[in-house]
Amino acid sequence: MRLGVLDVGSNTVHLLVMDAHPGARPLPAYSHKAQLRLAELIDEDGAIGDAGVDRLLTTLREALQVAEDKGAEDVLPFATSAIRDASNGEEVLRRVEQETGVALQVLSGEDEARLTFLAARRWLGWSAGRLLVLDIGGGSLEIAYGLDEEPDAAVSLPLGAGRLTATDLPGDPPDPADIRSLRKRVRAEIGRVVSEFARFGTPDHVVGTSKTFKQLARIAGAARSADGLYTQRELSRKALEEWVPRLAGMTTGERAALPGVSEGRARQLLAGALVAEGAMDLFGVEVLEICPWALREGVILRRLDHLLEV
């Protein structure tokens, strides 16, 4: 069957059309992305303004048309932290359903962590042993640890690259004092949850998923996306520590010129790097592996699992 996963994230609205069958590896058929950056459209009251909602509606209609054009027989729509944390999130969801027919499922932060962990586990396989999975999104950081397909521990922290850029790094390039303040805040937030994971022991593999880790690995020398999905890619803490001060001194335009960095994500890259560096340092990670699968694939895999149970 051909399924579409419609992900309303804090940075993008991403439709991933996949050919998926129970018991088989889902194969990507088509990807459609639109930069929306909802995390940066939150006003002082924590609400998504009318202009932001209008842009969301237009983007969703376009994505639904693409899903139809590409032959998706069903679309699995979900939203993450931008709508989850918006003070008018329920109102936005009602308007979306009324005007587009899309009933967005709002995932909790723990749901995000668990589904991303499932995707990483299926990608790496049982032989990978105990996994620590880190995912930096636009609105939140998800952390999960476990030996099986369900993690033993899963948390979500409000440390997304888009959110932190909007609230803590207004300059271009940012003021050094703002960077120091954000670094302290990020490490304090992560430090509060480290003990929840430490009691399970040292992981056999540490995995980073989603765009921020992929871009950081690329600028640190990892293989290009053109080199193939199955090419192993890694990010070392040493390389990241060397890149953070360099990114701090760059403008958005200068970051966008780096290999593998998209123009839409360039402004957020420093905040994402500070979160990645803090997480790797506090969890004692020297090198992490980049996993091509993340939340969207986890949603598809869970849907296929349910079909097998019927």
The pLDDT tens digits of the residues spanning 190-226 come to: 999 999 999 999 999 999 999 999 999 999 999 998 8
**Domain residue limits, the chain:** 2-106, 109-295
Do the domains 2-106 and 109-295 sit in the same CATH topology, yes or no? Answer: yes
Pair 145, 158: CB distance under 8 Å: no
| 22 preceded by a cis bond (ω within 30 of 0) | no
Q: HSE, CB side, 13 Å, CA atoms: give it for residue 6.
A: 23
Pair 95, 53: CB distance under 8 Å: yes
- Is the CATH number of domain 2-106 3.40.50.2000? no
Tokens 């790094």 appear where?
169
- Counting as low any pLDDT under 50, the low residues of the chain are 310
**Contacts of residue 89, Cβ cutoff 8 Å, sequence gap at least 6:** 48, 83, 106
Residues 36-69: tens digit of each pLDDT = 888 777 888 889 988 889 999 999 999 999 999 9
Pair 120, 47: CB distance under 8 Å: no
**217: how many CB neighbours lie within 10 A of its CB?**
23
CATH superfamily, with its number, for domain 109-295: Exopolyphosphatase. Domain 2 (3.30.420.150)
